[in-house]
Amino acid sequence: MGSKGGPLFTMATETLLLFSRHRFLAYLLFVLYRNLADCQQFIIPFKSPSDCGADEFFDISSLSCSRCGSNQRQSSTGFSCICQPGYRTTNVIPDKVSITCEQCPTNRPAVTKDGFGCVRCPGTLSDEGKCQCPPGHILVERDINGNPLNEARCEACNSNSPALSLADIRGDRCERCTSTFINSSCVCTAPNVPAGGLCFPSGILSTNVNPSVNYAQLKFSVQSAWFVANLYSSSAACLVYSNLTACQALGNMCVMNMHSFGGLSADACGLFNTVYRSKAALSSVQDIAYWKVDLPWLFYGDEPGLASRVLQTDPVPTVFSFRGRNKNTVIELLAAIYDVRGEFLRWEQVGGSNLQIAAHRASNQIKFVHPALGCFLWVAVED
């Protein structure tokens, strides 16, 4: 099938074919079979959200870019439109796409945080045309009964005892600061180190961490925005405060780093090993020497090659069989599930959506493969 355009995506009876040409213009060709000898063809321009301009949004129903209305621009998701800075939303149609925008008057030039009102600011305007307050203050745009104010207020949070409060990340309410701060104030004063909303003593851990995810087998690494935001604070909170979710989050980052030390003590697994060694004198968990208190069990100690020796040479105390009298033996495997922040979610039976079974004929073994991470669990099968 020829074309003067570019790559053609051809779909026919659930088959996807790609024909490459010299240019990058793409078309999506849907082929609907009426019978084996005849078919009907429909061609639409191929568009992705990144192809839409600043005054367009990606319409998921038509798979195309549609123009925003007057005084509007593309939203941060790219799937709808929002009002330009200085314009408030006056009407929203339930489809979440169609809105109307009205310019704020000169005596109330700022748009409220919800986007529906106009207000005077006590201070400066942000690039988004909204009021902004100094650090440690919250923005108040409504009275206690919810009525909009003509002029917003910046209220200071009291960081001293007994209030011990700070502005939350959205800057719209005062919250009590964490116990890691000095008892008499929420200010993390030098030489202490603020990170992740916590306050850490100086010198306990270098702040110069390596936020890269290393793929040693592929010989390249990429910097992770998640690691940049959370690697130091998770490591320090685990080391200094023995925070269980921080320790689990650090373990998660080491797993995302493919358990690779990469020769660096400041990467995710290197920092995990630093915390591990600091707890060497503490008691073990479940009578397993390699499982240290507060930490997830990721390694068989810090000796290279020990894991493979343990897995291949140490006898398994229980014998399972898939033949004879015990041929219906079922191996029940459970996994402890945590979210990326280290919060425990649930116990989950292994199989189905988390580990998929795959035969390995050469070694007469079965492996369970995680579809996203690529990790696997070997189960030997006797002949």
Q: What is the mean pLDDT of residues 91-96?
A: 64
Indicate whether 28 pLDDT > 50: no
Write down the pLDDT at residue 145.
Answer: 92
Give 22's pLDDT tier (boundaries 50, 70, 90). very low
Query: CB within 8 A of 138, min separation 6: which ones?
Result: 154, 155, 157, 167, 168, 171, 172, 173, 174
Q: What is the mean pLDDT of residues 105-119?
A: 94
Q: With contact defined as beta carbons under 8 Å apart, do 159 and 178 qualify?
A: no
Distance (Å, rounded) from C-alpha 251 to C-alpha 271?
A: 10
Q: In this predicted model, what pLDDT tens digit does every residue of 38-71 receive, in sequence order?
A: 567 778 888 889 999 999 999 988 899 999 999 9
Tokens of 82: 């929002």
**How much is the mean pLDDT over the chain?**
78
Q: What is the mean pLDDT of residues 279-296?
A: 86
Tokens of 147: 């009525």
Residue positions counted in the chain:
383
Angle at 234 between CA 132 and CA 297, to 5 degrees: 155
Closest to 331 measured CA to CA, from 359, 351, 361, 302: 351
Any idea which of 63-72, 148-157, 201-210, 363-372 has the lowest mean pLDDT?
Answer: 363-372
Q: In this predicted model, what pLDDT tens digit does every residue of 212-239 receive, in sequence order?
A: 887 766 677 888 999 999 999 999 999 9
Give 262's pLDDT tier (boundaries 50, 70, 90). low
Q: Give me the amino acid identity at 321.
A: S
Write down the pLDDT at residue 308.
Answer: 73
* HSE-up of residue 237 (Cα within 13 Å, Cβ side): 26
- Greater confidence (87 vs 198) lies with 87
Any idea which of 15-19, 81-85, 159-163 has the lowest mean pLDDT?
Answer: 15-19
Write down the pLDDT at residue 169.
Answer: 77
Q: With contact defined as beta carbons under 8 Å apart, do 337 and 347 qualify?
A: yes
Give 1's pLDDT tier (boundaries 50, 70, 90). very low
Listed ranges 15-24, 27-36, 182-191; the one with the highest mean pLDDT: 182-191
Q: What is the largest CA-CA distance in the chain?
A: 87
Cβ count near 249 (within 10 Å): 27
Write down the pLDDT at residue 129.
Answer: 92
Report percent pLDDT > 90 for the chain.
32
Report percent pLDDT > 70 for the chain.
71
Give pairs for 195-201: CB < 8 Å, separation 24+.
195/232, 195/233, 195/236, 196/229, 196/230, 196/232, 196/233, 196/234, 196/237, 197/233, 198/233, 198/236, 198/237, 200/233, 200/236, 200/237, 200/240, 201/240
Write down the pLDDT at residue 10.
Answer: 37
Q: In this predicted model, what pLDDT tens digit does every residue of 322-354 receive, in sequence order?
A: 676 766 566 677 888 899 999 999 998 877 676
Write down the pLDDT at residue 4.
Answer: 41
Indicate whether 320 pLDDT > 80: no
Indicate whether 95 pLDDT > 60: no
Listed ranges 50-59, 97-106, 272-281, 330-339; the one with the highest mean pLDDT: 50-59
Indicate whether 9 pLDDT > 50: no
Write down the pLDDT at residue 8.
Answer: 37
Indicate whether 29 pLDDT > 70: no
